[in-house]
Structure 1
């Protein structure tokens, strides 16, 4: 019986080591790709007028700076569409102030109203999409909790000029504001996930920073099918993959995102990400469960079992178990070192304040492995998730079956444009009595133009 146990453990260990070695090779290839991409002096290409859609909900400590960065892009021809659920959202006040300050870019504040069929974020995105002016040729989506650099927009849309590229995405790089356990775990797990899902060949769309031509977006039927689902980016990834359309990862456009969370917030965030993967990229989620389960078994089994065997005088099997655990830890540390080097290229600087987070990522593999494994397994049978205060229950196909939310005394039937930088600047200068006209794009009539009278808030 003991022999069978050792043989079984040896087989599991061989599988785990093989997967770990492949991940290490992938991490090296990822670093090579990032170095090559960032080392090329590439001239940005103008792809016509760009519509930048930014869904907002609530106010965090970086919202004002993040919104300012969207107005400070070096791309010459673009519009911004900030979308909120209701006029009571605290983000409305911040957005209105920024609209009144930065009038050099056409920007609009849109009230989307409550979603009744799918995720609120997707509902907001579709409201922004339907409000795009008729001359928009490229659509860019971004989250309000990121702070892109000045060339982010131009670098993000430039690869779309290639025939083989149908969508372009980047990813977030967390910047911990406090170096406690929650923020360090989030930093480490996010960096590891980024290294696995972003590559030169095929990538997963991240909803906080991606671009697609309007033509491809419409022909893929994403806007027609989005409204019943919960995950905007993973559904879009799944749809484009089915159509064999290439998703290009652009390292130059990786965006910084400040993090300041508690243990409960971190755990909720990780479980939500795993929940989305469980329902919209099931194969990737299952591979993650298998990999982390094998690693947990070999690492903790080798470490604790090996130590126990050594204490009982069985030096050979005990040493082998400890060696396997150490090999997994060493490979994880090497991968961490390489992705932290890539992180300096993403941020285009070596941030000395991140040194503590880097060391945590390199040294604390047992803890990050355990937390990630627990998060992946915890959503195996889960159908209900709460996101931004709204509860969603999904069906077998990933469609939202039930939405649970608190009743709001001020319900707005959107979409409704309630402010714009153009209108506010014109009001200040008293140049016009009429507000600007916005060409509303609808699926029923793509050329229909509605004249909307703007009012300054």
Structure 2
């Protein structure tokens, strides 16, 4: 029994280290210029928005300052009374050379409010290449070039995970540790070995491909548009690929409740859409290998404290090194934030297996065991 526990701990530590090595090899440091792109076709960028966020002014300014020969911005807002529209108009007035439009209204094609908000923008896009970009992505000047450079011969979709940046307060630091060295790391490691999953923050589509296979309405087949995109692309025989350097998402201040509810929502979405891939997530983080290793140490009669310290170092030091190597957020709060994250991971996993209601962008939603519902806006 002691040998079995020790072996389980060693396997989990090895898998954790391997994922860090693969992700580190797959990604380049934040701020690295995009690889050269020969094809510089016109691009439509569809940005669904809802309300003013802490960094709205900056993210809008970045969207109007992209280094790409020809692109259009299509801002999609569900309510014509949304205050973010005034901010968009200010940005448009300050950058008259960039073709931009604001479209209001909502097409209820799914239980996903963001997808419903995107429909009008997708249909209005004038170009064959379309980017669906969340409003809180901090686009670098070579944003489009990074996405275009991510294409390969078998690519059906190019995406980027969000990298948490500019946290204010401890719980925003915790969210950085969820987003960066946890979720982004595993997503890039998975893509590198052939299991690419779409990420809805930034998605580059070849419009004729999606239009020829059900159109944007096909993304309503799952509650999460990125899950539907992954399944559609794979069904067509293509792959989801990621950019070489993922884009920042400035966080600002986060509360404990916000971090918990966001992670619980994402976990429930993963559980509903990809249950077989989601089930092993309970083994992620430091707690499972730490529990196995300490149990083995007690059974072997060796110093359990020394074993616990060794396991903790083997898990956390490479993870922090990955963050430093890629230019991500690492501070004196990062280690306690990682520990809190790893305590939350199994609790979030357990919570995800039940039904639950939450408010997403002003919409009440319920995620059950097999389906999801969008209720009346609140």
Instruction: Tell me, yes or no, whether TM beats 0.5.
Output: yes
Three-state SS of the structure 2 residue aligned to 1:252 is coil
Q: CA offset at residue 109 of structure 1?
A: 0.4
* Counterpart-to-counterpart distance in 2, 1:38 and 1:255: 10
Instruction: Check if 1:174 corresponds to 2:164.
Output: yes
Conserved? CA contact 2:172–2:251, under 8 Å: no
Which residue is 1:453 aligned to? none
Residues 360 and 300 from structure 1, CA distance in 2 versus in 1: closer, same or farther, beyond 3 angstroms? farther
3-state SS of the aligned residue for 1:194? Answer: helix
Asked if 1:322 is matched to 2:322, the reply is: no
Partners of 2:317 and 2:366 in 1: how far apart? 40
1:388-427, aligned counterparts within 5 Å? 388-394=361-367, 397-398=370-371, 400-406=372-378
Q: Structure 1: 5+ residue runs without aligned partners?
A: 1-6, 348-353, 407-457
Counterpart among 186, 196, 206 of residue 175 in structure 2: 186
Checking the alignment, whether the CA contact within 8 Å between 1:332 and 1:365 is kept in structure 2 is no
Distance 1:22 1:240 in 2: 27
- Pick the structure with greater CA Rg: 1
1:198 aligns with 2:197: no
Is 1:238–1:280's contact at 8 Å kept on the other side of the alignment? no
1:99 Cα offset (Å): 1.7
Which residue of structure 1 lines up, in the alignment, with residue 146 of structure 2?
155
* 3-state DSSP of counterpart to 1:386: strand
Contact 2:72 2:100 in 1 (8 A): yes
CA distance in 2, matches of 1:40, 1:255: 14
Q: 1:243 aligns with which of 232, 236, 241?
A: 236
Distance 1:215 1:114 in 2: 21
Give the match's secondary structure for 2:301: helix
What is the rounded CA distance, in whole Å, between the counterparts of 2:350 and 2:215 in structure 1?
Answer: 30
**TM-superposition CA deviations, 1:205-231 (whole Å, max 9, x none):** 211112121122223435232235431
Map Cα deviations across residues 240-282 of structure 1 (whole Å, 9 max, x no partner). Answer: 2333311111123423423321111111111111121111122
Runs of 5+ consecutive residues of structure 2 not aligned to the other structure: none
User: Does the 8 A contact of 1:170 with 1:255 survive in 2?
Assistant: no
CA contact (8 A) 2:5 2:293 kept: no
Q: Aligned ranges for residues 254-333 of structure 1 at < 5 Å?
A: 254-291=247-284, 296-300=287-291, 317-319=301-303, 321-333=304-316
Deviation string 1:172-227 (CA, Å, 9 cap, x unpaired) is 2112332x321111111211111011143443221111212112222343523223
Q: Identify the match of residue 354 of structure 2 among 381, 386, 408.
A: 381
Alignment check: 8 A CA contact 2:170 2:333 kept: no
Root-mean-square deviation (Å)? 2.8
Q: 1:102 to 1:396 in 2, by over 3 A?
A: same
Q: Which whole-Å CA distance do the structure 2 matches of 1:389 and 1:10 have between them?
A: 52
The question of 1:145 aligning with 2:136 is answered: yes
Distance 1:124 1:41, change over 3 A: closer
SS state of the match for residue 166, structure 1? strand
**Secondary structure, aligned partner of 1:384:** strand
Once the two structures are overlaid, the 10-residue window that deviates more, 91-100 or 50-59, is 91-100
Equivalent in the alignment of 2:217: 224
Tell me the distance in 2 between the aligned counterparts of 1:197 and 1:364: 20
* Residue-by-residue CA offset, 1:60-107 (whole Å, 9 max, x unaligned): 121011011111001111111110111121211111221222111111
2-structure distance, mates of 1:37, 1:66: 17
